[in-house]
Chain A
Amino acid sequence: MATADELRELMRTEGAAVAENTQGFNTGRYDSVADLEDYEALKRAARSIKEDAIEELPDLLDQLTETVEANGGTVYIADDAADANDYIRGVVDERAADRVVKSKSMTSEEIEVNDALEADGVDVVETDLGEWVLQVADEAPSHIVAPAIHKSRESIAELFNKQFDPDEPLETAEELTRFARKKLGEQIIDAEVGITGANFVTADTGTMALVTSEGNARKTVAATDTHVAVAGVEKVIPTVGALHPFIELIGRSGTGQDITSYVSLLTPPVDTPVVDFTDDETPLSEFESDRDFHLVLIDNGRLEMRDDEHLRETLYCIRCSACSNSCANFQSVGGHAFGGETYSGGIATGWEAGIEGLDVAEEFNDLCTGCTRCVNACPVGIDIPWINTVVRDRINRDKDAPGEWLVDGLTPDEADDGAPLQKRFFGNFETVAKLGSATAPVSNWLADTTVARQAMDRILGIDPRRDLPTFERETLVDWAAARDSKVTDPERRAVLYPDLYTNHVQVERGKAAVKVLESLGVDVVVPPAPSSGRAPLSQGMVATATDHAERVTETLEPHIEDGRDVVVIEPSDHAMFTREYERLLDESAFTDIAENSYEVFEYVFGLLDNGGSVDSLSTVTGAEIAYHSHCQQRTLGLEAHTVAVLEECGYDVVTSDVECCGMAGSFGYKSDYYELSMDVGDRLRTQLRDDGVQDRPVVASGTSCLEQIDALLERQPRHPIELLAT
């Protein structure tokens, strides 16, 4: 795992270029998909094609092999990297090739074919300009689509000027591109073998789709007489027609282009004549189109992933990079920290765990905070956070239990014995919070002493620069139990879920919620309830989280049966009930709680929409306010409800549009990640300090966001429900 020092160094050297590029791609994605009339339908189509293709993979591979061979090509299915490299070396050797030109292919990076060929004395040239920059610089890709995303124009110019010593020093992007085009153009035309990847391969006709922008893949195929295409076995889809949703989605999802310049649909061997580029007598059409074609399909762990209930979804990935670009942490550190041997970004956890093993996934898996912002961005609807959670759980279990008295005392069940100390502390925050309230205010004094903070830093990795939550002596549940409902003839009846923070720390927002609901004629009860399991889930403690989920449903079920709606203040807990519990509970238990749960503003919105009067709430005329929604709330499409209600109450609302505040539950508390968390938070700070925003009071829905904003700004933020209480 990258240490705080390593992350700081990466942010210093590569952070600016990575941030600018990924955010540019991410904004481009939002704009580009907004132009599609049927974005969701295209994503559903893409998903179902991939689901079916992986289900029928063995048959499709047989069909593809038959078709390619009938077309005159060869198919080789390689068990692993070494097997694939042996085969490719054989092809190159048989052709007696001195030079191999390559277009960009992550799968060829995975097998490290360059090293294998270079060891044989073959000159291997990357022709994608980004890949070529990295080849010259001897650096690793930091992004699956734009591999040199971490390099600025200035650093590329410096590299080229040093390496090639051109007559005139190169400076602009235009000059650098011209230079590379010329240099690579000469190398392409006298190469014998061209290696490409393949984004998709169709079983019906043996057609491969290559999605590129520069034209180097076209040249790599057209200028050589031996074409080797390297792809994972998961790239096969049934028909040419099935390419349609992917062609529309892949560019938009990745770099935000509606479509890349070239989508090559090649059914090799292609008819383009193989010419001698130094011939000045023979017309082009008189050259023969004698080409050898080898399709090397790589297993390398994929067929095992297919049999793995949780990793299987990874195989649907079309490597578009949306999950990298939409990820707040990735935007700060890039793929050199947030990546494994080959792949980077959120889905890399699945790829690296399946291909390389858990130890590689462990190196970066912590950087996924489960914010879910990639979920709606993924064109094939992969639950990327879930894959990260499952892999984290497996990594925990791989470890020996730490056996520390402190945390063992905090871990009531044996189920997640494997999780390391820090993960178990955060995972069992419920116990801490209960103890905290019971002993407040003494607990708060103690926790804030230097000695205590040093111990927490050393033993638990809690960063001393973070303020700790201040526990309230009277919990929300106690407060509610001690008062009578103000509603005599209720419109509706609800159970307000006392999430951990509302109950112990931010009790005021809980009281405000009760008052607002009562003003709108809702009878509210606040029973004691277990915490949702969000905390253990985010630490990869799936068994503990499941236990929480079961206890929560047991607690809430009688209320639901009694006709009460479940209202949730904390968005991350609401997302547990309506999203994550699907993985943890049986179907009927999940449906029951999911269908009856509402985020508090979603509920208020519904009440107002159904005849509730805004006059019973506290209203204003045009007061200005800034609102930061919560990542998981936005993924569920529930930001709009808060904005609408605030506007109905007379507020002039501006909203932030950063993907995440950076705190992400316990993430920002951890010593290793504190600075990264603040770097991510800095983007929110910038927006909240913008002209026209800087003087507005700030409201935010999530507990973590509130804590983060509190640390970022002078202004103390509040939960928006507190504005509405009379």
Chain B
Amino acid sequence: MKSKRASFEGALEALGVTVSSTAESDLEAAVTEAVTEPAVGIALGETAGDEAFSLTETPVTVDPTPVALREATTGVTGAELGIGDYGSLVLSMTEEASELLSLFVERHVAILHEEDIQPDMDAAVAELDERFNETGGSAIIATGPSATADMGALVNGAHGAREVHVIIVEEEA
């Protein structure tokens, strides 16, 4: 049996999504490496763990203005869940505009805690079922880059991100 993480990473690779991993303490370095500037993002307090990752030590402009968002190349957000068999990310829609930051950019960098990787779609939907029923809420199951075949051939980056990169924050040993 492949581990959840191995199957997740395999699926991401098949989708053309790049992956890097980091310890929690080195997250900012990993973010710096993953972004193409100009970069905007969200304060990761909620989505990246207990510690509030401010991203202050990175080139990322946190909580940008709408104009800065439109001029940015990269958007950095958290991901709530990873789905092992599909390589999907579950993105939440927060008041901090994570939806805009992952969508109105060319490159989306998603930060995911290793323990949030679910083995399969069944488990992920069950988890969402529970959450939605308890607290309401919305989510995007995002799999690979935005794509279209409407112009006569498959092209990445239709309306949404053309490139996706996932940073897996590893569990502390």
A interface list, Cβ under 8 A from B? 21, 71, 127-130, 133, 146, 148, 151-154, 156, 172-174, 176-178, 180-181, 184-185, 188-189, 204-205, 207, 213-216, 218-219, 222, 239-241, 243-244, 247-248, 255, 258-268, 270-273, 275-285, 287, 289
Could you tell me if A177 and B158 are in contact, using CB atoms closer than 8 angstroms?
yes
Task: Compute how far the CA of A213 lies from the CA of B161 in the bound complex, rounded to whole angstroms.
Answer: 11
Could you tell me if B158 and A213 are in contact, using CB atoms closer than 8 angstroms?
yes
Contacts of B3 in A (CB 8 A): none
- The chain A residue with its CB closest to the CB of B137 is A267
Min distance, Cβ A238 to any Cβ of chain B, angstroms: 11
Q: Which of B70, B95, B146, B159 is the one whose CB lies under 8 Å from A285?
A: B95
Contacts of A146 in B (CB 8 A): 149-150
B interface list, Cβ under 8 A from A? 63-70, 86, 88, 93-101, 103-104, 121-122, 125-126, 128-129, 132-133, 136-155, 157-161
Min distance, Cβ A63 to any Cβ of chain B, angstroms: 13
Task: Compute how far the CA of A564 lies from the CA of B145 in the bound complex, rounded to whole angstroms.
Answer: 60
Could you tell me if B66 and A247 are in contact, using CB atoms closer than 8 angstroms?
no
Could you tell me if B132 and A261 are in contact, using CB atoms closer than 8 angstroms?
no
Contacts of B126 in A (CB 8 A): 241, 244
Q: Which of A172, A213, A264, A265 is the one whose CB lies under 8 Å from B148?
A: A213
A-B contact pairs, 12 of them (CB 8 A): A173-B154, A176-B152, A213-B147, A219-B104, A240-B133, A241-B125, A247-B125, A262-B146, A263-B143, A276-B66, A283-B65, A287-B97
15 further contact pairs, Cβ within 8 A, besides A176-B152, A281-B65: A128-B150, A174-B153, A185-B159, A205-B136, A240-B125, A244-B126, A258-B86, A261-B145, A267-B138, A271-B94, A277-B66, A277-B70, A284-B63, A284-B101, A285-B96
Task: Compute how far the CA of A691 lies from the CA of B138 in the bound complex, rounded to whole angstroms.
Answer: 54
Could you tell me if B66 and A261 are in contact, using CB atoms closer than 8 angstroms?
no
Task: Compute how far the CA of A281 lies from the CA of B94 in the bound complex, rounded to whole angstroms.
Answer: 20
Task: Compute how far the CA of A204 lies from the CA of B122 in the bound complex, rounded to whole angstroms.
Answer: 18
Min distance, Cβ B161 to any Cβ of chain A, angstroms: 8
Task: Compute how far the CA of A128 lies from the CA of B160 in the bound complex, rounded to whole angstroms.
Answer: 12
Q: Which of A260, A270, A278 is the one whose CB lies under 8 Å from B66?
A: A278
Contacts of A178 in B (CB 8 A): 157
- The chain B residue with its CB closest to the CB of A207 is B132
Could you tell me if B148 and A204 are in contact, using CB atoms closer than 8 angstroms?
no
Task: Compute how far the CA of A271 lies from the CA of B146 in the bound complex, rounded to whole angstroms.
Answer: 22
Could you tell me if A272 and B93 are in contact, using CB atoms closer than 8 angstroms?
yes
Given A239-B129, A283-B63, are A153 and B153 neighbors across the interface (CB < 8 Å)? yes
Min distance, Cβ A632 to any Cβ of chain B, angstroms: 32
Task: Compute how far the CA of A185 lies from the CA of B86 in the bound complex, rounded to whole angstroms.
Answer: 29
Could you tell me if B141 and A263 are in contact, using CB atoms closer than 8 angstroms?
yes
Contacts of B122 in A (CB 8 A): 244
Min distance, Cβ B58 to any Cβ of chain A, angstroms: 17
Min distance, Cβ A44 to any Cβ of chain B, angstroms: 15
Task: Compute how far the CA of A204 lies from the CA of B136 in the bound complex, rounded to whole angstroms.
Answer: 10
Q: Which of B140, B146, B150, B154 is the one whose CB lies under 8 Å from A265?
A: B140
- The chain B residue with its CB closest to the CB of A36 is B85
